């Protein structure tokens, strides 16, 4: 048996629970598939019971449903990974391009708002650029991760910090002019 051709029962039950299946239904499913007993009929008479050892086989009537549950969980994991990748891209590439100008100029509010809108749109929709609001306020997104945000810097605040840092450097460092 290969590692990729089986699923843990615990994984399946946790997935069903996450999909809000009722507890009584989960109990019935557990009873049917975790400890199945079989019997062989010889000449129309049942000849004892034995415990099934190999689980649900491919091609069985329940296997397509298990595949659907598995794909649902995998899809959610991939969506989460894609969103995390977009946060990384905003922090590293898009933010660094805007930071180049932030160090030298106090950017107009209109420009900062446009950059923020582009980042917000990219965060929620990827490369699709059609209209539509975000699911969470931008102020919440800009909070540090430990405070429930995504750790994306607030462009308006960052612009002011960068200009003040350059001003401080001019005032403190001798020969900076």
The secondary structure of 126-170 as a DSSP string is: TT-------SS-HHHHTS-GGGTS-----HHHHHHHHHHHHHHHH
Pick from 43, 56, 60: which is nearest to 7 by CA?
56
* pLDDT-wise least confident of 2-6, 112-116, 118-122, 133-137: 2-6
The mean pLDDT of the chain is: 73
Three-class secondary structure of residue 121 per DSSP: helix
Q: Is the pTM of this model over 0.85?
A: no
Q: Are 66 and 13 in contact (CB under 8 A)?
A: no
The secondary structure element, H or E, covering residue 173 is none
Average pLDDT over residues 160-168: 86
Pick from 104, 95, 93: which is nearest to 162 by CA?
104
Facing residues of 51 across strands? 37
Give CB contacts under 8 A, 24+ apart, made by 118-125.
118/94, 119/90, 119/94, 119/95, 119/152, 119/155, 122/86, 122/89, 122/90, 122/94, 123/83, 123/86, 123/87, 123/90, 123/150, 123/152
pLDDT tens across 98-119, in order?
Answer: 777 777 778 888 888 888 887 7
Average pLDDT over residues 41-66: 66
- Alpha carbon distance 38, 52 (integer Å): 7
Three-class secondary structure of residue 46 per DSSP: strand
Average pLDDT over residues 70-76: 65
- Alpha carbon distance 30, 43 (integer Å): 31
Q: In sequence order, what E strands does the chain have?
A: 37-42, 45-51
């Amino acid at each position: 048996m290969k590692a990729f051709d089986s699923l843990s029962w615990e994984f399946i039950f946790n997935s069903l629970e996450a999909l809000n299946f009722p507890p009584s239904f989960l109990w019935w499913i557990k009873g049917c598939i975790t400890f199945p007993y079989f019997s062989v009929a010889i000449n129309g008479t049942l000849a004892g019971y034995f415990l099934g050892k190999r689980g649900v086989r491919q091609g069985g009537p329940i296997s397509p449903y298990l595949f659907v549950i598995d794909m649902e969980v995998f899809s959610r994991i991939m969506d989460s990974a894609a969103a995390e990748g977009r946060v990384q891209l905003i922090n590293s590439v898009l933010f660094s391009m805007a930071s180049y100008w932030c160090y030298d100029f106090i950017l107009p509010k209109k420009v900062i708002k446009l950059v923020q809108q582009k980042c917000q749109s990219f965060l929620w929709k990827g490369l699709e650029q059609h209209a539509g609001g975000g699911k969470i306020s931008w102020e919440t997104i800009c909070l540090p991760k430990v405070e429930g945000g995504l750790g994306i810097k607030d462009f308006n605040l960052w612009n002011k910090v960068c200009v003040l840092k350059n001003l401080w450097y001019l005032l403190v460092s001798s020969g900076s002019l």
